[in-house]
Amino acid sequence: MLGPFAIIGHPVGKSMSPRLFCAAYPQLPPGTYLVVEADRGQTAMHKMETLGIRAANITMPLKTDCIPCAQQVSDQVLQTNATNLLRKENGTWSAWNTDVTGVSESFRATGVTLAGRQALVLGAGGAGRAAALALEQAGARVFIANRTPREGLFSLDSVPDLLAACSVVVNTIPVAQKEELLRNLTKNHTVLDASYTQAPAKKATLQAGACYLSGYHWLYHQAVEGFQIMTGLEPDTGAMRRLLGL
């Protein structure tokens, strides 16, 4: 599959994905990977069809909105109700979710065992749901805290108490605005941030002496799987890691 490929969402101007793709596939010509702004699923699909996009990374706010546009969906998409990748093959669009792999591999690659541990996910959006699935599949008991609590979700006010029971944390919300949420972090915690641009949990995690995994870990691991699905080619993982400082 020779492209063109793209990242689609809004806003996407600061995304690392174009640079990461170029590092992964230096043999491909310039312009193979595009940046496309769209804030609705139907708009995104129209632009992809117009531009002849063969596969695309899907980011906010389209992770759920684009699912109905696909004729085939992976099990991970069904379980999370979120997609971060669409691919067109033989005229049929399929939806994938490599965020699940991004989370599980971020912990595995850094030697963090998840089986038998209690884990806290902050945020119940597309990224949060993918994180929860990854942790559950790895054998952790998962608690989810969200701005809007509902059945099965704790309120953000519960986070300090939950941290006393959970040693693994995945953050998908801008907690820098509410740093008191993470006041009970200790050196025994491991924290993975979803955002690599804002790193919202970094300050509190490092102050507590806890292990901090930046969003670059998540970005890298989801991209390795995602780029393979998009292109059918093996990416240059060494070049990708060097670009991200991993």
**Active centre residues (catalytic):** 63
Whether the CB-CB separation of 173 and 182 falls below 8 Å is answered with no
Closest CA to 84 of 9, 147, 26, 182: 9
Q: Name 73's bridge partners.
A: 95
The rounded radius of gyration (Å) of the Cα atoms in the chain is 18
Residue found by looking up tokens 């669409």 in the block: 86
Closest CA to 181 of 123, 239, 128, 95: 123
Pairing mode, if any, of strands 141-146 and 118-122?
parallel
Q: What are the helix (H) ranges across the chain? A: 17-24, 41-51, 75-80, 99-109, 126-137, 159-165, 202-207, 215-231, 237-244
Tokens of 178: 């509410």
Burial-class residue 37 by CB neighbours within 10 Å (0-12, 13-18, 19+).
middle
> What is the distance in angstroms between the CA of the first residue and the CA of the last residue of the chain?
28
Residue found by looking up tokens 């491991």 in the block: 190
Pairing mode, if any, of strands 55-58 and 5-9?
parallel
